[in-house]
Amino acid sequence: MTKQLMNFRKVFLRASTSAIIGLTCLAPMTAHAQDAAASEPQADAPASGGLEEIIVTARKRAENLQETPVAITAMNAGMLEARQINNVAQVAKFAPNVNIQPVANISGSSASLTAFIRGVGQTDFNITVDPGVGV
């Protein structure tokens, strides 16, 4: 009986150790980011009073806004604050040919919306179909 107990103990310790090591490897590791030095200038911040360069990827390649043959309405944080825009539906008031409305009349809930930009959109909601306007 003692020999069986010793064998059981060895097997139990090996299994426990293997399980602990395996779970430790699967546990998520925490990452610690370094704080940027305060003296380094930010590359993304525009110069004060200068124009910001807008890169458009509408045609699946990076282009400057001035060279893009696509109609674009660009708004920065200052414009949104000046017009007191707090949500996406309020953007439709200031962007041309944009129509954003809750779909309470279709689904009975205002949790979803219909969005049309320049006549492109979708009113029938189907989980297997991508919408015409991504929100």
Mean pLDDT per 10-residue segment, the chain (135 residues):
73 74 58 54 55 82 85 84 85 83 64 78 73 71
- Same domain? For 100 and 135 the reply is yes
The answer as to whether 113 is a domain residue is yes
The answer as to whether 13 is a domain residue is no
The answer as to whether 27 is a domain residue is no
- Same domain? For 92 and 133 the reply is yes
DSSP bridge partners of 113: 102
Q: What pLDDT shows up at residue 47? A: 53
Q: What pLDDT shows up at residue 132? A: 72
Range of the domain at 73: 52-84
What string of DSSP letters covers 1-63? -HHHHHHHHHHHHHHHHHHHHHHHHHSPPP--PPPPPTTSPPSSSPPTTSPPP-EE-TTSS-E
The answer as to whether 101 is a domain residue is yes
Amino acid identity for residue 77 in this structure? A
**Residues found in the chain:** 135
The answer as to whether 10 is a domain residue is no
**Domain count of the fold of the chain:** 2
The answer as to whether 30 is a domain residue is no
The answer as to whether 26 is a domain residue is no
The answer as to whether 128 is a domain residue is yes
- Given phi > 0 = left and psi -120 to 50 = alpha, else beta, which region is 119? left
- Same domain? For 125 and 98 the reply is yes
Which residues, 6+ apart, have CB-to-CB distance to 75 below 8 Å?
85, 91, 94, 95
Q: Judge if pTM exceeds 0.75.
A: no
- Same domain? For 93 and 132 the reply is yes
Q: What pLDDT shows up at residue 73? A: 81
- Same domain? For 66 and 94 the reply is no
